[in-house]
Amino acid sequence: MDYAKAYRSGDITPSLVAERFIAAIDESTKPSLQMGFFIHYSVDDILRQAAESTHRYRRGEPISVLDGVLVAIKDEIDCLPYPTTGGTTWLHKERPCNDDACCVKRLRLCGAILVGKTNMHELGSGTSGINPHYGPARNPYDSSKIAGGSSSGSASLVSAGLCPVTLGVDGGGSVRMPASLCGVVGLKPTFARIPHDGVLPLNWTVGMVGILAGTVEDALIVYAAISGEIPYQQIFSVLTHINLPRLSLTKSISDIKLAKYGKVRVLLRATNICIMILKSLEIG
Protein backbone atom coordinates (compact mmCIF):
# COMPACT_ATOMS: atom_id res chain seq x y z
CA MET A 1 0.00 0.00 0.00
CA ASP A 2 1.20 3.52 -0.81
CA TYR A 3 0.33 4.71 2.70
CA ALA A 4 2.80 2.32 4.32
CA LYS A 5 5.60 3.47 2.01
CA ALA A 6 4.88 7.13 2.73
CA TYR A 7 4.71 6.53 6.48
CA ARG A 8 8.01 4.64 6.50
CA SER A 9 9.71 7.39 4.53
CA GLY A 10 8.49 10.02 6.97
CA ASP A 11 6.93 12.12 4.21
CA ILE A 12 3.61 12.01 6.02
CA THR A 13 2.27 10.58 9.28
CA PRO A 14 -0.98 8.81 10.16
CA SER A 15 -1.89 11.82 12.31
CA LEU A 16 -1.53 14.20 9.38
CA VAL A 17 -3.61 11.91 7.15
CA ALA A 18 -6.28 11.65 9.86
CA GLU A 19 -6.46 15.44 10.21
CA ARG A 20 -6.89 15.90 6.46
CA PHE A 21 -9.49 13.13 6.40
CA ILE A 22 -11.54 14.76 9.17
CA ALA A 23 -11.40 18.10 7.35
CA ALA A 24 -12.63 16.44 4.15
CA ILE A 25 -15.50 14.69 5.95
CA ASP A 26 -16.50 17.98 7.56
CA GLU A 27 -16.50 19.60 4.12
CA SER A 28 -18.60 16.75 2.71
CA THR A 29 -21.43 17.43 5.17
CA LYS A 30 -21.97 21.02 4.01
CA PRO A 31 -25.27 21.79 2.23
CA SER A 32 -23.51 22.21 -1.10
CA LEU A 33 -22.32 18.58 -1.01
CA GLN A 34 -24.13 16.44 1.61
CA MET A 35 -22.31 13.31 0.46
CA GLY A 36 -23.78 11.16 3.24
CA PHE A 37 -20.70 8.99 3.75
CA PHE A 38 -21.24 8.16 7.43
CA ILE A 39 -23.91 7.32 9.95
CA HIS A 40 -21.45 7.59 12.86
CA TYR A 41 -17.85 8.71 13.25
CA SER A 42 -15.82 10.15 16.12
CA VAL A 43 -13.12 12.76 15.56
CA ASP A 44 -11.53 12.03 18.95
CA ASP A 45 -11.38 8.28 18.33
CA ILE A 46 -9.86 8.74 14.86
CA LEU A 47 -7.17 11.10 16.17
CA ARG A 48 -6.37 8.75 19.07
CA GLN A 49 -5.81 5.78 16.76
CA ALA A 50 -3.76 7.93 14.38
CA ALA A 51 -1.53 9.19 17.19
CA GLU A 52 -0.84 5.62 18.33
CA SER A 53 0.06 4.59 14.78
CA THR A 54 2.30 7.64 14.34
CA HIS A 55 4.23 6.70 17.49
CA ARG A 56 4.74 3.16 16.19
CA TYR A 57 6.21 4.42 12.93
CA ARG A 58 8.49 6.87 14.76
CA ARG A 59 9.80 3.99 16.85
CA GLY A 60 10.31 1.95 13.69
CA GLU A 61 7.80 -0.63 14.91
CA PRO A 62 4.75 -0.57 12.59
CA ILE A 63 2.55 -3.61 13.09
CA SER A 64 1.87 -4.35 9.43
CA VAL A 65 1.39 -2.81 6.00
CA LEU A 66 -2.09 -1.77 7.22
CA ASP A 67 -0.77 0.22 10.18
CA GLY A 68 -2.15 3.75 9.92
CA VAL A 69 -4.38 2.98 6.93
CA LEU A 70 -7.89 4.44 7.14
CA VAL A 71 -10.65 1.82 6.95
CA ALA A 72 -14.38 2.51 7.28
CA ILE A 73 -16.93 -0.13 8.32
CA LYS A 74 -20.45 -0.62 6.99
CA ASP A 75 -23.04 -0.03 9.72
CA GLU A 76 -24.03 -3.69 9.54
CA ILE A 77 -20.79 -4.78 11.23
CA ASP A 78 -20.01 -4.28 14.93
CA CYS A 79 -17.22 -1.77 15.55
CA LEU A 80 -16.72 -0.09 18.91
CA PRO A 81 -17.36 2.60 20.10
CA TYR A 82 -20.23 2.95 17.64
CA PRO A 83 -23.75 1.47 17.70
CA THR A 84 -24.71 -0.88 14.89
CA THR A 85 -27.91 0.51 13.41
CA GLY A 86 -28.19 -1.42 10.16
CA GLY A 87 -29.31 1.89 8.67
CA THR A 88 -32.29 2.13 11.06
CA THR A 89 -33.08 4.39 14.00
CA TRP A 90 -34.07 1.58 16.37
CA LEU A 91 -32.11 -1.64 15.84
CA HIS A 92 -29.15 -0.65 18.03
CA LYS A 93 -31.55 -0.17 20.95
CA GLU A 94 -32.69 -3.79 20.69
CA ARG A 95 -29.25 -5.20 19.85
CA PRO A 96 -26.47 -3.17 21.50
CA CYS A 97 -22.93 -3.40 20.15
CA ASN A 98 -20.73 -4.75 22.96
CA ASP A 99 -17.68 -5.92 21.02
CA ASP A 100 -15.94 -5.68 17.67
CA ALA A 101 -16.86 -8.11 14.92
CA CYS A 102 -14.16 -10.69 14.21
CA CYS A 103 -13.12 -8.98 10.97
CA VAL A 104 -12.83 -5.63 12.78
CA LYS A 105 -10.69 -7.16 15.54
CA ARG A 106 -8.32 -8.48 12.90
CA LEU A 107 -8.02 -5.04 11.31
CA ARG A 108 -7.24 -3.51 14.71
CA LEU A 109 -4.53 -6.11 15.28
CA CYS A 110 -2.95 -4.93 12.01
CA GLY A 111 -2.95 -1.32 13.21
CA ALA A 112 -5.63 -0.03 10.83
CA ILE A 113 -7.38 3.20 11.80
CA LEU A 114 -11.11 2.48 11.95
CA VAL A 115 -12.78 5.75 11.06
CA GLY A 116 -16.49 5.07 11.58
CA LYS A 117 -19.68 3.41 10.40
CA THR A 118 -20.74 4.05 6.83
CA ASN A 119 -24.18 4.84 5.46
CA MET A 120 -26.23 2.04 3.94
CA HIS A 121 -29.62 1.18 2.52
CA GLU A 122 -31.90 0.52 5.50
CA LEU A 123 -31.46 -3.10 6.67
CA GLY A 124 -29.56 -3.79 3.45
CA SER A 125 -32.87 -4.25 1.68
CA GLY A 126 -32.28 -2.21 -1.46
CA THR A 127 -29.79 -1.28 -4.13
CA SER A 128 -30.10 2.51 -4.30
CA GLY A 129 -28.34 3.44 -1.07
CA ILE A 130 -31.03 6.03 -0.34
CA ASN A 131 -31.64 5.96 3.40
CA PRO A 132 -34.82 7.65 4.73
CA HIS A 133 -33.19 8.43 8.10
CA TYR A 134 -29.62 9.41 7.25
CA GLY A 135 -30.03 10.57 3.68
CA PRO A 136 -28.49 9.14 0.52
CA ALA A 137 -24.83 8.31 0.06
CA ARG A 138 -23.98 10.21 -3.11
CA ASN A 139 -21.77 9.19 -6.00
CA PRO A 140 -18.48 11.16 -6.00
CA TYR A 141 -18.42 11.16 -9.81
CA ASP A 142 -21.71 13.05 -9.84
CA SER A 143 -23.31 14.03 -6.54
CA SER A 144 -26.74 14.12 -8.18
CA LYS A 145 -26.46 10.35 -8.72
CA ILE A 146 -26.79 7.45 -6.30
CA ALA A 147 -23.83 5.44 -5.06
CA GLY A 148 -25.76 2.17 -5.20
CA GLY A 149 -26.41 -0.19 -2.33
CA SER A 150 -26.64 -1.46 0.06
CA SER A 151 -22.98 -0.73 0.98
CA SER A 152 -23.39 2.79 -0.35
CA GLY A 153 -21.25 4.83 2.02
CA SER A 154 -18.42 2.32 1.85
CA ALA A 155 -18.24 2.50 -1.94
CA SER A 156 -18.61 6.27 -2.00
CA LEU A 157 -15.74 6.81 0.46
CA VAL A 158 -13.32 4.75 -1.63
CA SER A 159 -14.44 6.40 -4.84
CA ALA A 160 -13.90 9.85 -3.29
CA GLY A 161 -10.33 8.86 -2.39
CA LEU A 162 -10.91 9.33 1.33
CA CYS A 163 -10.34 5.70 2.33
CA PRO A 164 -8.27 3.22 0.32
CA VAL A 165 -10.34 0.33 1.68
CA THR A 166 -13.71 -0.13 3.37
CA LEU A 167 -15.80 -3.09 4.50
CA GLY A 168 -19.31 -3.88 3.32
CA VAL A 169 -21.64 -6.87 3.41
CA ASP A 170 -22.87 -8.54 0.22
CA GLY A 171 -25.86 -10.86 -0.09
CA GLY A 172 -27.24 -10.22 -3.56
CA GLY A 173 -24.78 -7.64 -4.81
CA SER A 174 -24.60 -5.14 -1.95
CA VAL A 175 -20.83 -4.73 -2.35
CA ARG A 176 -20.50 -5.42 -6.06
CA MET A 177 -23.27 -3.10 -7.29
CA PRO A 178 -22.14 0.08 -5.49
CA ALA A 179 -18.56 -0.78 -6.44
CA SER A 180 -19.53 -0.84 -10.11
CA LEU A 181 -21.51 2.41 -9.88
CA CYS A 182 -18.68 4.19 -8.06
CA GLY A 183 -15.86 2.75 -10.15
CA VAL A 184 -14.02 0.83 -7.42
CA VAL A 185 -13.09 -2.78 -6.71
CA GLY A 186 -15.78 -4.84 -4.97
CA LEU A 187 -15.16 -8.34 -3.61
CA LYS A 188 -17.72 -10.77 -2.23
CA PRO A 189 -15.75 -13.72 -0.83
CA THR A 190 -16.82 -17.34 -0.78
CA PHE A 191 -19.11 -18.39 2.07
CA ALA A 192 -17.29 -18.55 5.44
CA ARG A 193 -13.93 -17.30 4.17
CA ILE A 194 -14.38 -14.24 6.39
CA PRO A 195 -16.04 -14.98 9.77
CA HIS A 196 -19.54 -13.58 10.17
CA ASP A 197 -19.30 -13.16 13.95
CA GLY A 198 -20.43 -9.67 14.95
CA VAL A 199 -22.34 -8.99 11.73
CA LEU A 200 -26.09 -8.38 11.71
CA PRO A 201 -27.81 -11.65 10.68
CA LEU A 202 -29.90 -9.98 7.98
CA ASN A 203 -29.24 -12.69 5.38
CA TRP A 204 -26.37 -14.68 6.85
CA THR A 205 -26.68 -17.69 4.54
CA VAL A 206 -25.73 -15.56 1.54
CA GLY A 207 -24.56 -12.28 3.09
CA MET A 208 -20.76 -12.21 3.35
CA VAL A 209 -18.45 -9.52 4.69
CA GLY A 210 -16.97 -7.98 1.56
CA ILE A 211 -14.25 -5.52 0.63
CA LEU A 212 -14.33 -2.31 -1.38
CA ALA A 213 -10.98 -0.90 -2.46
CA GLY A 214 -9.26 1.37 -4.90
CA THR A 215 -7.13 -1.44 -6.32
CA VAL A 216 -7.23 -5.23 -6.51
CA GLU A 217 -3.94 -5.34 -4.58
CA ASP A 218 -5.40 -3.35 -1.68
CA ALA A 219 -8.45 -5.61 -1.62
CA LEU A 220 -6.18 -8.67 -1.50
CA ILE A 221 -4.15 -7.25 1.38
CA VAL A 222 -7.25 -6.61 3.48
CA TYR A 223 -8.68 -9.99 2.52
CA ALA A 224 -5.47 -11.61 3.76
CA ALA A 225 -5.83 -9.72 7.04
CA ILE A 226 -9.44 -10.59 7.85
CA SER A 227 -10.00 -14.00 6.25
CA GLY A 228 -9.54 -17.32 7.99
CA GLU A 229 -11.72 -19.40 10.22
CA ILE A 230 -12.23 -18.95 13.93
CA PRO A 231 -10.68 -21.99 15.70
CA TYR A 232 -13.99 -23.35 17.02
CA GLN A 233 -15.38 -23.38 13.47
CA GLN A 234 -12.57 -25.46 11.98
CA ILE A 235 -14.06 -28.79 13.04
CA PHE A 236 -17.00 -28.10 10.73
CA SER A 237 -14.92 -26.70 7.88
CA VAL A 238 -14.83 -27.93 4.30
CA LEU A 239 -12.84 -24.94 3.04
CA THR A 240 -9.71 -25.60 1.02
CA HIS A 241 -6.41 -23.84 1.64
CA ILE A 242 -5.65 -20.69 -0.33
CA ASN A 243 -2.41 -18.75 -0.73
CA LEU A 244 -2.45 -15.22 0.67
CA PRO A 245 0.28 -12.61 1.20
CA ARG A 246 1.81 -12.09 4.61
CA LEU A 247 1.32 -8.53 5.75
CA SER A 248 5.00 -7.58 5.98
CA LEU A 249 6.20 -4.20 4.82
CA THR A 250 8.87 -5.46 2.42
CA LYS A 251 7.67 -8.42 0.41
CA SER A 252 5.92 -8.08 -2.93
CA ILE A 253 2.68 -9.92 -3.63
CA SER A 254 3.53 -10.35 -7.31
CA ASP A 255 4.61 -13.97 -6.85
CA ILE A 256 1.58 -15.08 -4.85
CA LYS A 257 -0.02 -18.10 -6.52
CA LEU A 258 -3.78 -17.55 -6.56
CA ALA A 259 -4.89 -20.61 -8.53
CA LYS A 260 -3.78 -23.96 -9.85
CA TYR A 261 -4.15 -24.18 -13.61
CA GLY A 262 -4.22 -27.97 -13.48
CA LYS A 263 -7.58 -27.92 -11.70
CA VAL A 264 -8.92 -25.44 -14.22
CA ARG A 265 -7.98 -27.79 -17.08
CA VAL A 266 -9.74 -30.67 -15.35
CA LEU A 267 -12.90 -28.60 -14.92
CA LEU A 268 -12.85 -27.50 -18.55
CA ARG A 269 -12.39 -31.08 -19.71
CA ALA A 270 -15.31 -32.21 -17.53
CA THR A 271 -17.46 -29.37 -18.87
CA ASN A 272 -16.71 -30.34 -22.46
CA ILE A 273 -17.61 -33.95 -21.74
CA CYS A 274 -20.94 -32.86 -20.22
CA ILE A 275 -21.69 -30.74 -23.28
CA MET A 276 -20.96 -33.69 -25.58
CA ILE A 277 -23.27 -35.94 -23.56
CA LEU A 278 -26.08 -33.38 -23.63
CA LYS A 279 -25.73 -32.95 -27.39
CA SER A 280 -25.87 -36.71 -27.89
CA LEU A 281 -29.16 -36.79 -25.97
CA GLU A 282 -30.78 -34.08 -28.07
CA ILE A 283 -33.82 -35.23 -30.02
CA GLY A 284 -33.42 -34.29 -33.67
Domain containing 234 — which CATH number?
A: 3.90.1300.10
User: Phi/psi class of residue 259: alpha, beta or left (left: φ > 0; alpha: ψ in -120 to 50)?
Assistant: beta
Q: What is the pLDDT of residue 180?
A: 97
Q: What is the pLDDT of residue 283?
A: 47
Residue 44: inside a domain: yes
- Cβ burial of 213 (10 Å; 0-12, 13-18, 19+) is buried
| Catalytic residue (one of 151, 174, 188, 227) | 174
Residue 212: inside a domain: yes
The rounded Cα 69 to chain-centroid distance in angstroms is: 13
Residue 246: inside a domain: yes
Instruction: Tell me how far apart the alpha carbons of residues 165 and 156 are, in angstroms, rounded to a whole number.
Output: 11
Active site residue 174: yes
Q: What is the pLDDT of residue 255?
A: 55
Residue 273: inside a domain: no
Report whether the peptide linkage leading into residue 81 is cis, meaning its omega lies within 30 degrees of zero: yes
Query: Which structural domain range is residue 8 located in?
Result: 2-258
Task: Report the run of H or E that residue 39 belongs to, with start and end.
Answer: strand 38-40
Q: What is the pLDDT of residue 257?
A: 53
Residue 38: inside a domain: yes
| Catalytic residue (one of 15, 53, 74, 159) | 74
Q: Give per-residue pLDDT as tens, 125-134.
A: 999 999 999 9
Specify whether the CB–CB gap between 188 and 176 falls below 8 A: yes
Q: What is the pLDDT of residue 177?
A: 98
Residues of the chain short of pLDDT 70, as ranges, are: 231-284
Active site residue 150: yes
Instruction: Give which of 247, 224, 210 is closest to 73, Cα–Cα.
Output: 210
Residue 274: inside a domain: no
Residue 281: inside a domain: no
Instruction: Tell me how far apart the alpha carbons of residues 252 and 194 are, in angstroms, rounded to a whole number.
Output: 23
Number of domains composing the chain = 1
Q: What is the pLDDT of residue 192?
A: 86
Residue 268: inside a domain: no
Task: Outline where DSSP puts E strands in 140-270.
Answer: 142-146, 165-170, 185-187, 208-213
| Catalytic residue (one of 64, 150, 152, 156) | 150
Active site residue 156: no
